[in-house]
Copies of this chain bind each other. A is one copy, B any other.
Amino acid sequence: MTATGTTTQRRGRGARERILAAAAQLFASQGINATGMEQVAEEAPVSKRTLYAHFRTKSDLVIAHLRELGASGSTLESVLAREDLAPRERILRLFDQPGPDAGPVRGCPFIDAAVEFPDPHSAVHAHAREQKLLMVRLVTALTTELGCREPAALAEQLVTLADGAASRAMVLDQADYGRHARAAAEILLDNALAGAS
């Protein structure tokens, strides 16, 4: 599946795409475990046979949904790879509010999925963990490029701020909550650059 990054009309697409679109909408509005496979099939709409032909288990569907979010450029991680932006700007974009969206403010989809699949050995939790480790590797590359002192430790601090901001924005239902974390990130970056290089 290719993701264009543009909002396209979901109707008329293939079954797999309609299933993922329905899952994305239901997971966001009511949570993953509160969403049954039957409801996803009804909403897509596809038969249950078709749903299970594409996704053998709920876990398979959740992981495909998370991969789709990553590919669509709608995750915190995706801005880190934007070569058109300077390294510092890419880091600070982690704290921007997400694009206009009808529903309530959402947190990081990987953390949210890990919450609903608490067993660290489950496939969904493991996938979420890989994404968060990828995120800190990308930020470490940027803090290294910037010439920051202790770039790996700084990267952990920056992604902790970004993830905390996303979670608090969700809990508080305040889309612009990231501004507090952004100001902290600026202080930490300046501190790590003072006297460095």
Please report the C-alpha to C-alpha distance between residue A30 and residue B30 in the assembled complex, in whole angstroms: 17
Interface size on A, residues (CB 8 A): 50
Interface residues of A in 71-111 (CB under 8 A from B): 104-108, 110-111
Interface residues of A in 139-197 (CB under 8 A from B): 153, 156-157, 159-165, 167-168, 170-173, 180-181, 183-184, 187-188, 191
Chain B residues positioned under 8 Å from A16 (CB to CB): none
How does the 8 Å CB contact mask read for A25-66 relative to B, with 1 for contact and 0 for none? 000111111100000000000000000000000000000000
Given contacts A171-B110, A187-B191, contact A119 B104 (CB under 8 A): yes
Chain B residues positioned under 8 Å from A117 (CB to CB): 31
Please report the C-alpha to C-alpha distance between residue A128 and residue B28 in the assembled complex, in whole angstroms: 18
Given contacts A31-B117, A168-B160, contact A184 B188 (CB under 8 A): yes
**Separation in Å of the A62 CB from the closest CB of chain B?**
12
B168 and A184 contact, CB distance less than 8 A: no
Which 4 residue pairs of A and B lie closest in terms of their CB atoms, listed nearest first? Answer: A164-B164, A33-B33, A156-B180, A160-B164
Q: Chain A residues in contact with chain B, CB under 8 A? A: 28-34, 104-108, 110-112, 114-120, 125, 128-129, 132-133, 153, 156-157, 159-165, 167-168, 170-173, 180-181, 183-184, 187-188, 191
